[in-house]
Structure 1
Amino acid sequence: MRPFSLVQPPTLSDLVSFLARGNGQIALLAGGTDLYSLLKDEIVKPEVMVDLSPLKELAGLKQEKDFLRIGALTTINDLASSPIIQKNFPGLKQAAQSIGSPQLRNVGTIGGNLCQRPRCWYFRDPLFLCRKKGGARCFAVQGRNKYHAIFGGGICNIVHPSDLAPALISLEARVKIVSSGGEKEMALSDFFSPPSVSLRQENKLQPGEVLTEIIVPNPSPRLKSTYLKFTERGSWDFAVVSVAATAEIQGRSLLKPHFVLGGVAPIPWRLTNFEKMIEGQNIQEKMVAAAALEALKESRPMSENAYKIDLAAVLLARAAMSLISR
């Protein structure tokens, strides 16, 4: 690990001003659960480490008339244990509770979870100069690719590791980004960048910008949500495949369904073709299972990860059945 200087801005305004001045290579430290491994492997080589822990204004949940505002420095444990989340957003609660260990959830933040780097072993290994690190090839194409993408890969076949991102996208969440030029909002689904848009970066944060807030619309009385995750280990593991689902329930029909897969693509992958197949239909297990397999025909698995198709089909069907049973 290379030496660096440490800065602790006391307010968001101070942070934005510091970033605007340009102070060399900067890394933002929130919970640090992902950053420390990136530092050790010298994937990130900051000259300045900016400790965000003094910025208490960026932590906590605020319920408003139409939205729930979640500060980017809110810990995953505080998110999962919030009565508001438990009552109104059960899918988001399930996603938060599935992350890591209790110790990691106590320090990891929602902003850090959304902005974490991929876990691809070629990207993380300093011996491999892959495309994401400026090299000429994706080693997963002809190498070990058991955990890699079946959608949206090609030039780079990482999968996005966030559990919270699929759940929040299914809830049509937005993010607020602040810089010296002001603030802006965008849909969380637009926040992530596939490799075809940006090889070196997984999101659209520009230099000097900070993710400060996640904004979630308050659910209608008929909206239900769920989150399902398959891992190789029983706990404390990243998703091999996950699915976040929301829909308004009318009898045995799903209206305005949102199904977002995790662990299958470089970005959280919304399966709109599956949504169209099942929307307004009388939901039965065989029907949704067949629709899931049909929708997944668009996947492009590699030599070792075609099993993800069957896993995703099972989770999609279970998620749909779970919604109508709630």
Structure 2
Amino acid sequence: ASRTHVDAAPNARFISGGTDILGEIKEGILEVDILVSLAGLSGASEIISSDLGLEIGALVTLARIASDQSIVETYPVLAQAAESVATPQIRNVGTLGGNLCQRPRCWYYRSPLFDCLKKGGETCFASDEGNKYHAILGAENCHIVHPSDVAVALLALDATVVVSNASGDRQMPIGDFFVSPDVNMLAENVLEPGEFVSKVKIPQPSSGTRSVYLKAKERQAYDFALSSVAVSLEVRDETITQAHVALGGVAPVPYSVPQVDSELTGQKIREVDVQAIGQLAVKDAQPLSDNSYKVRLTASMVARAVSRLISE
């Protein structure tokens, strides 16, 4: 499909790799009249490198992102995030656009037994119990966490998302692409009917930029993040001149921590207190009954990520 209207059917949806949307259909969460394939969409399977940076089409697979040499060398945080997703089989099928647009993995949302807020109900069942995997930051009424790994890396890289429909394109900083439940309870992003993610743009990093992605999960393979962190630092003359830290697995959207960015910027790398930086990242945390471990885990991971980069 090339810029195909999905307005012809009230419950039409675009599909690329299908690893998430097919699961929603099978679980009875999503009713679809028509699935419109994006296969063959012009330019959507390309990775284009230039002096301005990188453009990655929405249909590029996670496996290709993880192994592409230009990404591995220039944007290691993104390659590492893509490599961390699920299993090799899923990475060979799952796409960049699909990973950004996947729905929550919250077991109350995914279960037909619970009519939760995210499905138009009146209760977030995670508020009281069974919330081991839920949000500790940025959540009010609904405590989902956004499941995308690559979104966290792209947030640390100041990426731009290009959204398309039959009429044309619009683009936005990746942080503006996602919406929290308190803005729109029934959606996780700004896509309107008939729109799809067509590509992602990443600016060319300056010399001295280094980046890393760390992910904690219960099992070695095929698990979503308990917590994850993406860090990009620009270092010149032993001084951090720019910092971007993003968190995953802990909030309803990929989560920026600007207070950490500000604290790191301008510091000599030999003088950075990584433990204090880790604590600063979670200072606004509001854990639920079963997930206070995420506060300690996330602080530790931020400290580890920053420590790794300033030791390079």
**What TM-score, normalized by structure 1, do the two folds share?**
0.92
1:30 equivalent in structure 2: 16
1: distance between equivalents of 2:221 and 2:179? 29
**Percent of aligned positions that are identical:** 43
**Aligned counterparts, 1:42-191, within 5 A:** 42-55=28-41, 57-191=43-177
Q: Please state whether the residue corresponding to 2:66 is helix, strand or coil.
A: helix
1:284: how far off? 5.3
Kept in 2: contact 1:283–1:321 (CA 8 A): no
1:290 equivalent in structure 2: 276
Q: Cα distance 1:46–1:262, how it changes in 2: closer, same or farther (>3 A)? A: same
* Moved beyond 6 Å, runs of 4+: none
Gaps of 5+ in 1: 1-8
2: distance between equivalents of 1:107 and 1:56? 18
Of the candidates 160, 163, 181, which is equivalent to residue 195 of structure 1?
A: 181
2: distance between equivalents of 1:172 and 1:294? 21
Tell me whether 304-313 or 174-183 shows the greater mean CA deviation.
174-183
The alignment yields a C-alpha RMSD, in angstroms, of 1.4
1:250: how far off? 2.6
1:256: how far off? 1.3
Gaps of 5+ in 2: none
Q: What letter matches 1:66 in structure 2? A: L
Q: Please state whether the residue corresponding to 1:298 is helix, strand or coil.
A: coil
1:253: how far off? 3.1
Q: What letter matches 1:216 in structure 2? A: I
1:6 equivalent in structure 2: none
Tell me whether 306-315 or 48-57 shows the greater mean CA deviation.
48-57
2: distance between equivalents of 1:135 and 1:102? 36
Kept in 1: contact 2:165–2:196 (CA 8 A): yes
Q: Cα distance 1:295–1:226, how it changes in 2: closer, same or farther (>3 A)? A: closer
Q: What letter matches 2:148 in structure 1? A: S
Q: Deviations over 1:184-242 (max 9, x none)?
A: 11001110000111000000000111110100111111111110011111122111000
2: distance between equivalents of 1:217 and 1:286? 26
Q: What letter matches 2:102 in structure 1? A: Q
2: distance between equivalents of 1:281 and 1:256? 10
2:204 equivalent in structure 1: 218
Kept in 1: contact 2:264–2:272 (CA 8 A): no
**What TM-score, normalized by structure 2, do the two folds share?**
0.96
1:281: how far off? 1.9
1:65: how far off? 2.2
Q: Please state whether the residue corresponding to 1:297 is helix, strand or coil.
A: coil
1: distance between equivalents of 2:59 and 2:295? 35
